[in-house]
Amino acid sequence: MNFDEKIDFKERSWDVWSSVIFQKTSEEWGGFSNMCAGFRIDVNGKTWLTSEALYQALRFPDDPELQEIIRTERSPMAAKMKTKPFRVSRSRKDWDSVRVDAMWWCLIAKLISNEESFGSLLKKSGKSDVVERSHRDRFWGAVRVTEDYLQGQNVLGVLLTMLRDRYSKGGIEEISKILPPKHSRLFGVDSFSISKVGESRKSIQLTLDDFL
């Protein structure tokens, strides 16, 4: 794991009434969804329309052509579906063990590129648990089991809560030191310059060599 602390991703119950819940992108907390438009991410001069697309591309570090297909899809769900025929044959072999690290970095990139809008949403959630409500996914989210509780690991929600807390304490400089999993590449490049959307001259450059 790419974390400097022990993270508990065990399945548990989440209180509906005291948590920040997101599911549909059109709802109040929809900006937390990886499918939400309006949070473009600029990495190495290329724009990713959603964090979902960026996350899916990291699955295929040795396939720049497929990464470009994912990147240029207008719909985040379409970008996700484009990967399905290739997940067995072309995914990085250790994907299951690095996918949480990959998601963590994508959320960081989303914040760096959209600090004003996404950062405000994170701060607005206060100190509440952030929970992705899902119909069936108990890994990234949690499913309703009663009127008052959701059940699941809620990995995406936990990562968002971690991101909020780190950002509140240390700002962008604190989180910008975090890299994607080792052996990550986008279009054959293993260094990553993340820019604020619309401010390409203000970028944070990350390279694996800096941390080896």
Q: Do 60 and 91 meet the contact criterion of CB atoms below 8 Å apart?
A: yes
> So what's the pLDDT on residue 197?
86
Domain boundaries in the chain? 12-211
Across 130-160, b (16+ Cβ under 10 Å) vs e yields: bbbbbeebeebbbebeeeeebebbbbbbbbb
Q: What is the Cα–Cα distance from 135 to 141, expressed in whole angstroms?
A: 9
At position 9, the amino acid (one-letter code) is F
- The predicted pLDDT at position 1 comes to 55
Cβ contacts of residue 207 below 8 Å, gap of 6+?
A: 190, 191, 192
The pLDDT tens digits along the chain (212 residues) read 555 556 879 999 999 999 999 999 999 999 999 999 999 999 999 999 999 999 999 999 999 999 999 999 999 999 999 999 999 999 999 999 999 999 999 999 999 999 999 999 999 999 999 999 999 999 999 999 999 999 999 999 999 999 999 999 999 988 888 889 999 999 999 999 999 986 543 444 444 444 33
What span, in angstroms and rounded, lies between the C-alpha atoms of 104 and 120? Answer: 18
Q: pLDDT at position 8, please?
A: 76
- pTM for this prediction: 0.91
pLDDT at position 7: 80
The residues, any chain, with a CB within 8 Å of residue 81's CB and separated by 6 or more, are: none
The CATH topology of domain 12-211 is: Tetracycline Repressor; domain 2 (1.10.357)
